[in-house]
Chains A and B, each alone.
Chain A
């Protein structure tokens, strides 16, 4: 009787290899990529908060030392694609799907010319929680929770403000980076508060 090896035929092998390849791709799409994406976006959420915290500390330093006329910069990464702290199998190939935006807005008015400045980062994540980080007149908030307070001295508040006739509201979105340029122009007294008047622009 002739021995048959039809169970090892090329057609069956090709079908098996294709099945394994498809199974691998499906597993990656369903499990691996969402896990990686979630991780990338969580790390990025934390990194943007730290970028805002550094900016807040630097703005505080500027008015504490009355350092007028010196332009400083802060950089915010809008998406994990612009971030350098993640470990990725396929670096940032899928993370570019998420993006974010930074806007410079007027907050509560504190006098005729001056208004509190709000710098707002809004994430549009694919996998992780969307966060909103707000720098508002000296305080730092994330999703409405105060992370770092504004500066006070007894009942006196030091409020970071902009002159509405000089600083315009702006908004920039995307996946790259946004640069905030800021400069302390002067510190003026308003009632019991001190207004730290900054020139600000985002690019």
Chain B
């Protein structure tokens, strides 16, 4: 009599198959699940850092608007996440602002300050610059809230208003926790001039190309806002043209006849420091 064989269903093969299925599940989780969860956590953290900078902007703006000199706004910037350390940097001169009238210099090379955090890879920045909050990823930056730069039509004259905060101090600190920052408003100085019948060029020369792109966006959006203002409307015979060339973003304001361009720049000055505790 022929013996029936069930070797294809042996316990050893079944055991190995079970082990393979378990290994497959663990492998899939490690390759797909963990990176996805980490990415989600990092995205959530980046939103937290961005929100902290928005709070920072509101805090320092409030100090200036309410004339609160001598009072510090103390905040914790959550640069580090659970998975990576972070760093906070204050740079006093990340670019320079100049204003020309028919090629002659009206305002020479004012330095732009930036408080920024970087975390995870050093390719992501969130920061405060020119009164706005930006986020930069791998060389592509965007404003979360725009800088304080406006064009307005007042009685058919063009007014250019800009706030350029000066952040005094210099540091580059890394941490695996939140980084406490103290900011106190000192004073604000104002610079103003006007130009009649002459082409005015506002030029921002950045150290990094993405920063120039950022300011080109700010100029472009300010022009869009001014030209589409339903109340005041656009001034006839004045053209505003934003442009970018390498590391330089510019805004060319060209009056055709008899037009006055007023320029107001406010420089609030802040002392910024990280606390050692």
Contact = CB atoms under 8 A, between A and B. Distances in A.
A146 B82 contact: no
A151 B76 contact: no
A164 to B, nearest CB: 26
Interface of A: 8-10, 13, 16-17, 39, 42-43, 46, 49-50, 53-54, 56-58, 60-61, 64-66, 84-89, 140, 145-149, 151-154, 158
Given A50-B48, A148-B275, 13 more contacts: A16-B15, A17-B15, A49-B178, A57-B55, A57-B59, A60-B74, A61-B73, A64-B63, A85-B41, A87-B37, A145-B277, A151-B71, A153-B69
Given A13-B12, A16-B15, A85-B82, A153 B71 contact: yes
Nearest to A16: B15
A22 to B, nearest CB: 15
10 smallest A-B Cβ distances: which pairs?
A53-B76, A153-B70, A13-B11, A148-B74, A43-B82, A87-B37, A64-B62, A65-B62, A57-B75, A57-B55
Given A50-B178, A64-B62, A8 B277 contact: no
Contact of A158 (B48, B51, B71): B71
Contacts of B59: 57, 60-61, 64
B178 A56 contact: no
Nearest to B55: A57
Interface in B40-85: 41, 44-45, 48, 51-52, 55-56, 58-59, 62-63, 65-66, 68-76, 78, 81-83
Interface residues of B, number: 43
Contacts of B180: 147-148
A24 to B, nearest CB: 9
Interface of B: 10-12, 14-15, 18, 29, 34, 37-38, 41, 44-45, 48, 51-52, 55-56, 58-59, 62-63, 65-66, 68-76, 78, 81-83, 177-178, 180, 182, 275, 277
Contacts of B62: 61, 64-65
Contacts of A87: 34, 37-38, 41, 83
B11 A65 contact: no
24 contacts: A8-B11, A10-B11, A13-B14, A13-B15, A16-B15, A39-B82, A42-B82, A53-B76, A53-B178, A54-B76, A56-B74, A56-B75, A57-B59, A57-B74, A57-B75, A61-B59, A61-B62, A66-B66, A85-B41, A87-B41, A147-B180, A148-B75, A148-B76, A153-B69
